[in-house]
Amino acid sequence: MLDPNLQRERMVQRQIADRGIRDPYTLAAMRQVPREEFVAPSLREFAYEDSPLPIEAGQTISQPYIVALMIAEAGIRPGERVLEIGAGSGYASAVMAAIAKEVYAIERVPELARLAGERFERLGYDNIQVRVGDGTRGWPEAAPFDAILAAAGGPSVPDALLQQLAPGGRLAMPIGSTRDQQRLVLVTRTENDRFVQKELGAVRFVPLIGEHGWRDDAPVTMAEPARRVRGRGDVSQGIHGLIRAAAEPLPDFSDPAFGKMFDRFADARVVLLGEASHGTSEFYRARDAITRRLVETHGFRIVAVEADWPDAASIDRYVRVAPAKRPPEPAFQRFPTWMWRNTDVDRFIDWMRQHNEPLPRDRQAGFYGLDLYSLNTSIHAVITYLDSVDPEAATIARRRYGCLTPWSKEPAQYGHMALTAGYAVCEEAVTKMLQSLLSKRLEYSLKDGESFFDAEQNARLVRDAEAYYRAMYYGSAESWNLRDTHMFRTLQHLLDAGGADSRAVVWAHNSHIGDARYTEMGQLREELNIGQLCRQQFGDQAALIGFGTDQGTVAAASNWDEPMQVMRVNPSLAGSYERLFHGAGVERCLVDLRSGQHPELRERLTESQLERFIGVIYRPHTERWSHYTDAQLPRQFDAYVWFDRTTAITPLTDEHGRGVPETWPFGV
Ligand code: SAH
């Protein structure tokens, strides 16, 4: 679990201060209140996300930025008395209570009021009173108030509330002519008893239900969660026909026509093939068919995947019909093993081996890992290499890498230690190690260029992993960015090593290969990815191909390091791209999204929708919050491959004909 204090600090900086909120009282209060205490335990990991979250009774806890904006605009000051309408989780009340003298909070749903009251007591907020009731009438016995905040949107500002404002008092409230779309207004009661109104922009809150609000004609549990401000019209009208018109049906995976459909991308330097989960067979089989075609017919000789360098290196020896290392270094032993040890990957690497067998090494296709989770194995690989070429240098490597050894089992702990120590304890050692290896490139490469390249990549990986584990401790964008930058640089080294006409196919999750600038990753979280970096580097010479599905089964775990299960994938949510494609009624297809293709469809799809991302973890019960984010699909990808129904991969076991799985792929 990431340190909530750090996450909170970062939330205040990135989501609030960087967006222009300067009020020191608001910033200090947002730094104090533990937001994770105001959401259900299953949603704690999202407590510092830049979004509203669901709470009990179908209501929401507002987005941190919106809470801060309202409090800052209302200018709440020490000594003041404040009324909140719509206490919900109690979070906003707690933030105000950290500034003001007294906070009065009204909540319509008894269960929410009770839970909020319990939280205040447990966390020691003794200056908040909560009561159940209709907040549109205010709290006349406690009036007047210096500030009133409404956390739900009504058709107009209730007169009763204006009357309960003290002279000089401020009221912030979402107002709108429909139940679910509003603009935020700030009303100030001047000293000479006039009301001055200021507009603060479009927002989306849950409806304010009561005598001077909306009528209670829907059960509260039906309320839509409040969403960030952004257009999300109903684009489904007519769009199904546009999707059908653009959809090119996909043949069987074993039909050579499948791969041929992707010939249009064969001029690219890099073809990036995504996946919408790490455990769906159709995505693997499609990537297999496309990659075969690119390798066999179009001269692609690099297959670079979202796996660690040393694991992939052992597969590389297999596909090149080279002997396994002695002692064997088993590949993909760690969670999530099924991502690579599955029957689809097994079939693919067997095909690579057959393809390579008659070819000289420089015309063979190689299998490489772009990821950086193999700190230990990579350290070991560098030392073993140096033992064989330069034992003296190996001794120095042992000493330098020794800095990280105490944390070899739990590298994340290294990040914590470095943070506590206040400096990057092992950075110098791992950087020097890479430098001294590179300075001997000529000398070492003369002996064996391939082995040097492998050692070099491992030394780079160790250098980047050291930084990654330090950044990870802060959570959010930095560690992700270090990881994807490492992936991109590794790809570049591979392309460089392959010469001017080298070309690569990349297999990685949609979240890595779909241009991050057109998803929440880039737009809200300052995250970049390998797809974006490839586009920036190669322009039209990078083809970003995304994958999607509506429902079926998937191989995934409930939590990290827990066993794989075959889980049912929920039908996609309304408001998502998946729902649009499902609605079009196409079973499996390719949609070309490059500019010039299907302009009307692309324009319609550019209106941001939700998109589902399932990784190695799948949590169907909190699916909206765990797996969906906003995206602009036609900008994120150059093409989209759709399978309406999909099935889980089959993990390799003894029965799959390879003898002891530990030594896969080499067998015993
Ligand atoms: N500030 C809260 C936001 C909760 S959402 C938080 O940060 O958690 C808005 C809340 O307003 C909901 O809990 C809803 O039940 C409540 N609400 C709606 N109409 C209301 C009314 N007339 N009086 C009091 N509460 C109301």
Looking at the fold, whether 404 and 553 belong to one and the same domain comes out as: no
Beta-carbon count within 10 A of 265 CB: 23
pLDDT for 342: 95
Span from the CA of 113 to the centroid of ligand 1 (angstroms): 9
Binned at pLDDT 50, 70 and 90, residue 660 comes out as very low
**Calpha distance 49→545 (Å, rounded):** 28
Q: Classify residue 251 by burial, with Cβ atoms within 10 Å: 0-12, 13-18, 19+.
A: middle
Binned at pLDDT 50, 70 and 90, residue 622 comes out as confident
Q: State residue 527 phi and psi, 5-degree precision.
A: -100, 140
Q: Is 389 contained in some domain?
A: yes
Q: Is 666 contained in some domain?
A: no
**Calpha distance 7→292 (Å, rounded):** 44
Binned at pLDDT 50, 70 and 90, residue 222 comes out as very low
Residue with structure tokens 């494609």? 581
Catalytic residue among 51, 62, 89, 378: 62
Of the residues 462, 495, 528, the one at which a domain ends: 495
Looking at the fold, whether 253 and 315 belong to one and the same domain comes out as: yes
Q: Which residue has the higher pLDDT, 478 or 370?
A: 370
By C-alpha distance, which of 357, 300, 337, 304 is closest to 491? 304
By most ligand atoms within 8 Å of CB, the mutation choice from 107, 156, 227 for ligand 1 is 107
Q: Atom 4, ligand 1: which residue's CA is nearest?
A: 88
By most ligand atoms within 8 Å of CB, the mutation choice from 66, 71, 84, 85 for ligand 1 is 85
By most ligand atoms within 8 Å of CB, the mutation choice from 43, 56, 59 for ligand 1 is 59
Atom of ligand 1 nearest to the CA of 209: 19
Sign of the dihedral defined by the CA atoms of residues 113, 117, 119, 120, in that order: positive
Q: Is 523 contained in some domain?
A: yes
**Calpha distance 284→67 (Å, rounded):** 43
Looking at the fold, whether 140 and 254 belong to one and the same domain comes out as: no
Mean pLDDT of 623-642: 94
HEC profile for 235-273? CCCCHHHHHHHHCEECCCCCCHHHHHCCHHHCCCCEEEE
**Calpha distance 506→431 (Å, rounded):** 27
pLDDT for 187: 93
pLDDT for 662: 63
- 3 state DSSP class of 39: coil
Instruction: Output the six-digit token pair for 624.
Output: 């909206």
Span from the CA of 40 to the centroid of ligand 1 (angstroms): 17
Q: What residues does ligand 1 touch, defined as CB less than 6 Å away? A: 59-62, 85-86, 88-89, 91-92, 106-109, 112, 134-136, 151-152, 206, 208-210, 213
- 3 state DSSP class of 498: coil
Looking at the fold, whether 161 and 301 belong to one and the same domain comes out as: no
- 3 state DSSP class of 406: helix
Span from the CA of 43 to the centroid of ligand 1 (angstroms): 19
**Calpha distance 83→141 (Å, rounded):** 12
Question: What residues contact residue 216 under an 8 Å CB cut-off, 6+ apart?
Answer: 209, 210
Instruction: Output the six-digit token pair for 298.
Output: 């179009």
Beta-carbon count within 10 A of 403 CB: 17
Span from the CA of 321 to the centroid of ligand 1 (angstroms): 65
Span from the CA of 609 to the centroid of ligand 1 (angstroms): 26
The domain that holds 196 is classified in CATH as 3.40.50.150
**Calpha distance 251→259 (Å, rounded):** 9
Q: Is 587 contained in some domain?
A: yes
Span from the CA of 557 to the centroid of ligand 1 (angstroms): 35
pLDDT for 428: 95
The residue type at 271: V
Q: Classify residue 474 by burial, with Cβ atoms within 10 Å: 0-12, 13-18, 19+.
A: middle
pLDDT for 183: 86
Looking at the fold, whether 181 and 34 belong to one and the same domain comes out as: yes
**Calpha distance 443→22 (Å, rounded):** 57
Distances (CA, A) of 417 to 33, 223, 225, 407: 26, 45, 40, 9
Looking at the fold, whether 347 and 315 belong to one and the same domain comes out as: yes
* Catalytic site includes residue 62: yes
Of the residues 225, 244, 271, the one at which a domain ends: 225
Atom of ligand 1 nearest to the CA of 84: 1
Looking at the fold, whether 122 and 158 belong to one and the same domain comes out as: yes
Q: Is 199 contained in some domain?
A: yes
The domain that holds 270 is classified in CATH as 3.40.1660.10
Q: Atom 6, ligand 1: which residue's CA is nearest?
A: 61
Q: Is 107 contained in some domain?
A: yes
Of the residues 179, 197, 225, the one at which a domain ends: 225
Share of the chain above pLDDT 90, in %: 75
DSSP 538-572: HGGGEEEEEEEEEEEEEEEBSSTTSPPEEEEEPPP
Residue 288 Cα to chain centre, angstroms: 25
* DSSP letter (8 states) at residue 35: G
Q: Residue 43 in contact with residue 625, Cβ under 8 Å?
A: yes
Mean pLDDT, the chain, rounded, equals 91
Q: Is 665 contained in some domain?
A: no
Looking at the fold, whether 303 and 325 belong to one and the same domain comes out as: yes
Of 51-65, 294-308, 571-585, 637-651, the one with minimum mean pLDDT is: 51-65
Mean pLDDT of 626-630: 92
pLDDT for 310: 95
Containing structural domain, residue 262: 229-371+503-659
Looking at the fold, whether 307 and 425 belong to one and the same domain comes out as: no
**Calpha distance 668→660 (Å, rounded):** 6
State which H helix or E strand residue 295 sits in: helix 281-298
Looking at the fold, whether 182 and 301 belong to one and the same domain comes out as: no
Beta-carbon count within 10 A of 487 CB: 25
Q: Please, what's the b/e burial string for 48-63 (b: 16 or more CB within 10 A of its CB; e: otherwise)?
A: bbbbbbbbebbbbbbb
Residue with structure tokens 């401000």? 229
Our count of domains for the chain comes to 3
By C-alpha distance, which of 226, 178, 189 is closest to 205? 226
Looking at the fold, whether 353 and 399 belong to one and the same domain comes out as: no
pLDDT for 234: 45
Beta-carbon count within 10 A of 278 CB: 24
Beta-carbon count within 10 A of 438 CB: 13
Q: Atom 11, ligand 1: which residue's CA is nearest?
A: 86
Q: Atom 10, ligand 1: which residue's CA is nearest?
A: 86
Question: What residues contact residue 655 under an 8 Å CB cut-off, 6+ apart?
Answer: none
By C-alpha distance, which of 46, 15, 12, 7 is closest to 26? 12
Looking at the fold, whether 26 and 168 belong to one and the same domain comes out as: yes
Q: Which residue has the higher pLDDT, 113 or 40?
A: 113
Span from the CA of 284 to the centroid of ligand 1 (angstroms): 46
Record the pTM: 0.73
Reported as half-sphere exposure (CB side, CA atoms, 13 A), residue 586 has a value of 27
Atom of ligand 1 nearest to the CA of 93: 1
Mean pLDDT of 646-654: 89
Q: Is 122 contained in some domain?
A: yes
**Calpha distance 271→285 (Å, rounded):** 16
